[in-house]
């Protein structure tokens, strides 16, 4: 499996019917986040540019944890 950016991974999650899917759709619709790719840049943008609600922060943390776990699992295979 090729390594993908956090943004690419989120794009694949946009069809999910959960908080991670909601986060993915919101980020992909955000015109000021078009060039952001990494976990750090996306996290900073969401936290500081949009002042998210608690649920959005929880969705972001869940997405990051899932993305990073995927990355570790991929490297172990």
The predicted-structure confidence for 5-24, as pLDDT tens digits, reads as follows 999 999 999 999 999 999 99
Angstrom distances, CA of residue 45 to CA of 2, 15, 22, 51: 26, 22, 16, 9
Predicted TM-score of the model (pTM): 0.84
Distance, in Å, from the CA atom of 3 to the CA atom of 16, rounded to the nearest integer, reads 21
pLDDT at 23: 95
Is 1 among the domain residues? Answer: no
Asked whether residue 32 is domain-assigned, the answer is yes
Quote the tokens at residue 29.
């619709």
Segment 25-45 shows an average pLDDT of 95
Categorize the per-residue pLDDT at 1 as very low, low, confident or very high, splitting at 50, 70 and 90: very low
> Contact 9/70 with Cβ under 8 angstroms?
yes
Check whether 55 has a pLDDT greater than 50. Answer: yes
| Contact (CB, 8 A) for 41 and 26 | no
Count of domains observed in the chain: 1
For residue 31, what is the domain's CATH number?
1.10.150
State which residues form the domain around 63: 6-76
What is the rounded CA–CA span in Å between residue 2 and residue 76? 13
């Amino acid at each position: 499996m090729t390594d993908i950016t956090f943004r690419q991974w989120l794009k694949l999650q946009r069809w999910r019917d959960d908080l991670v899917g909601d986060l993915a759709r919101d980020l992909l619709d955000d015109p000021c986040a078009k060039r952001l790719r990494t976990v750090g840049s996306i996290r900073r943008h969401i936290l500081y540019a949009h002042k998210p609600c608690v649920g959005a922060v929880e969705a972001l943390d869940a997405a990051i944890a899932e993305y990073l776990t995927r990355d570790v699992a991929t490297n172990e295979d």
